[in-house]
């Protein structure tokens, strides 16, 4: 017992009362600092939020269940802004195109949310995940690598790899048992980005490519599990989980191929630097200039004082490989599957390809792709329905005012931007869940807000490789349909989605193929 001026306290009480007072003071300070957030939250609808965990229960479950919950949230609350609390972190989901435009273009909304830290074991601090200051520097330096002249020089590789896809698919020709498109398209898109951006041909390194693909899918699954299980947020707990599950080497396997390419290119660069150009004696200056690839650019920038660390180069290479292969492969698989589900649309695409390219085997040029207007509509409609990145999270560095109800989004809050939700807004698309390439006819595009389609995000942090993606996908689809017709028993409503880091089909992309009869599907009459 302790006595203070006749007031008696136990030893426990001596420690307990100050502790309670300290906790109350911290709580009051916390609530005071959040008063603007709480005031905004009180005026917004949203899923139930509980103490400590917030609305996190909505994002716990299998990848399929998480995707179903996201779609349900969109149906229940969009298109108006609605609140989402992830643990103690307050966020607002933005759906309307005019609001999306404001957020994506605001200098106060360039910072990626803290949840992107969970994927840095894959991407490091490449363009996707880098803090704003680092992103500004790297983006400014890297952007010239995707200018129109260099994109045009990629076409020989586009055509070469497209023909490789056709040869590989011959083993599935005229079979009645469906095969999964992913098994054939994913290796080709990886091969494409490695040769075009890294100067590394995977044709003779198929084992390395296969190992990278498998590691990428498994790493994506593991990181998505981490996001949905708060007890795995601490790095030590996640590392322990990986060891217990036997996945300790997944991320090391993911880096093997990128590091091999960097090492090879570094040796080449060092040889040129010391004047050992024996391998280049018969090459003109013009040819050398045009043979430069993305990885060459990184080393040259570093030599010129850009101060890229080895980790910086590795992170940008991994980001480019995944962004240029995995995302394209998913979109291509969805696109070809949709064309199999809707044979009349497939026929219309083929007619356009026939009109532009004829029935020969000539290579496709950049001028040819500019004439494939309906194919462009089909690809964009695919991205509208199945955006590869269905969620974009930005942490606000200052207050941002949006148009809807003149809401001011407070500094420190998170903006949840969902291309999936924006693309399925009935105000922009009358039949939002139907596959209709006419949504992207010039007339319909003119009627809609510019940011009603954000398949490649938008604003300053939009996708750096959007033109590369569209050109490569056009060549691959056009070459595919020139040689094969594609069929499936799958219906649109049979497509079930799952979310790891990217949006995928749970049941793969099952199709069969037949030899294409190279003639127009519709006979056109010409009047003289």
Annotated binding-site positions for heme? 463
- Residues forming beta bridges with residue 54, ordered by sequence position: 50, 86
Q: Please, which residues have CB within 8 angstroms of residue 218's CB and are 6 or more apart in sequence? A: 247, 250
Q: Please, which residues have CB within 8 angstroms of residue 351's CB and are 6 or more apart in sequence? A: 520, 521, 522
Alpha-carbon torsion (469, 471, 476, 482), positive or negative: positive
**C-alpha to C-alpha distance for 202 and 186, rounded to whole angstroms:** 13
Task: Give the length of the chain.
Answer: 528
Which residues are known binding-site members?
463
Q: Please, which residues have CB within 8 angstroms of residue 132's CB and are 6 or more apart in sequence? A: 110, 111, 397
Sequence-separated contacts (24+) of 306-311 with Cβ below 8 Å? 306/137, 306/141, 310/262, 311/124, 311/125
Nearest to 414 by CA among 438, 397, 439, 389: 397
User: Under a CB-based contact definition with an 8 Å cutoff, are residues 98 and 449 in contact?
Assistant: yes
- Is 94 strand, coil or helix? strand
User: Under a CB-based contact definition with an 8 Å cutoff, are residues 58 and 73 in contact?
Assistant: yes
**C-alpha to C-alpha distance for 284 and 271, rounded to whole angstroms:** 18
Q: What is the torsion angle, in degrees rounded to the nearest 10, for the CA atoms of residue 127, residue 298, residue 254 and residue 232?
A: -30
Give how far Cα 441 sits from Cα of 299, 340, 446, 452, Å: 42, 21, 9, 14
Nearest to 292 by CA among 197, 421, 387, 160: 197
- Is 48 strand, coil or helix? coil
Q: What is the torsion angle, in degrees rounded to the nearest 10, for the CA atoms of residue 261, residue 264, residue 265 and residue 270?
A: 160
Q: Which residue has the tokens 């880091």?
A: 501
- Residues forming beta bridges with residue 457, ordered by sequence position: 455
**C-alpha to C-alpha distance for 434 and 452, rounded to whole angstroms:** 16
Angle CA(481)–CA(487)–CA(489) in degrees, nearest 5? Answer: 160
Alpha-carbon torsion (217, 219, 221, 224), positive or negative: negative
Give how far Cα 387 sits from Cα of 45, 67, 105, 211, 390, Å: 25, 13, 20, 26, 5
**C-alpha to C-alpha distance for 412 and 91, rounded to whole angstroms:** 9
């Amino acid at each position: 017992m302790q006595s203070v001026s006749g007031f008696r306290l136990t030893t426990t009480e001596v420690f307990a009362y100050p502790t309670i007072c300290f906790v109350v003071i911290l709580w009051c300070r916390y609530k005071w600092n959040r008063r603007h957030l709480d005031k905004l939250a009180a005026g917004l609808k949203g899923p139930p939020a509980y103490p400590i965990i917030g609305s996190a229960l909505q994002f716990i479950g299998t990848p399929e269940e998480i995707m179903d919950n996201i779609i349900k949230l969109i149906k229940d609350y969009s298109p108006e802004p609605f609140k989402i609390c992830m643990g103690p972190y307050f966020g607002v989901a933005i759906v309307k195109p005019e609001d999306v435009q404001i957020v994506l273009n605001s200098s106060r909304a360039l910072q990626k949310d803290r949840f992107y830290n969970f994927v840095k074991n894959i991407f490091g601090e490449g363009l996707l995940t880098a803090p704003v200051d680092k992103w500004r520097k790297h983006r400014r330096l890297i952007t010239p690598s995707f200018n129109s002249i260099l994109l045009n020089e990629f076409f020989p590789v586009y055509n070469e790899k497209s023909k490789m896809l056709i040869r590989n698919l011959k083993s599935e020709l005229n079979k009645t048992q469906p095969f999964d498109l992913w098994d054939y398209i994913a290796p080709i898109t990886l091969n494409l980005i490695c040769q075009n951006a890294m100067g590394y041909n995977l044709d003779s390194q198929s084992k390395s490519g296969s190992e990278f693909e498998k590691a990428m899918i498994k790493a994506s699954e593991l990181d998505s599990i981490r996001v949905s299980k708060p007890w795995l947020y601490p790095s030590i707990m996640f590392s322990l989980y990986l060891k217990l599950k036997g996945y300790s080497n997944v991320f090391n396997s993911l880096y093997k191929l990128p590091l091999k390419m960097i090492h090879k290119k570094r040796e080449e660069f060092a040889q040129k630097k010391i004047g050992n150009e024996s391998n280049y004696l018969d090459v003109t200056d013009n040819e050398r200039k045009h043979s430069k690839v993305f990885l060459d650019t990184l080393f040259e920038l570093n030599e010129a004082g850009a101060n890229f660390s080895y980790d910086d180069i590795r992170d940008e290479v991994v980001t480019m490989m995944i962004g240029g292969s995995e995302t394209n492969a998913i979109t291509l698989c969805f696109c070809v599957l949709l064309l199999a589900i809707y044979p009349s649309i497939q026929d219309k695409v083929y007619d356009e390809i026939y009109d532009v390219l004829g029935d020969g085997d000539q290579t496709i040029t950049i001028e040819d792709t500019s004439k494939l207007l309906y194919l462009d509509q089909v690809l964009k409609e695919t991205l509208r329905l199945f955006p590869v990145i269905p969620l974009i999270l930005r942490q606000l560095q200052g207050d941002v005012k949006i148009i809807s109800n003149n809401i001011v989004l407070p500094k420190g809050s998170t903006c949840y931007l969902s291309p999936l939700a924006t693309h399925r807004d009935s105000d922009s698309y009358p039949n939002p869940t139907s596959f209709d390439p006419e949504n992207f006819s010039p007339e319909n595009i003119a009627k809609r807000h510019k940011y009603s389609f954000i398949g490649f995000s938008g604003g300053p942090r939009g996708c750096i490789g959007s033109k590369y993606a569209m050109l490569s996908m056009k060549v691959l689809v056009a070459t595919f349909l020139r040689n094969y017709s594609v069929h499936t028993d799958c219906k649109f409503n049979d497509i079930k989605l799952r979310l790891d880091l990217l949006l995928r089909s749970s049941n793969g992309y099952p199709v069969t193929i037949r030899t294409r009869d190279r003639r127009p599907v519709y006979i056109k009459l010409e009047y003289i």
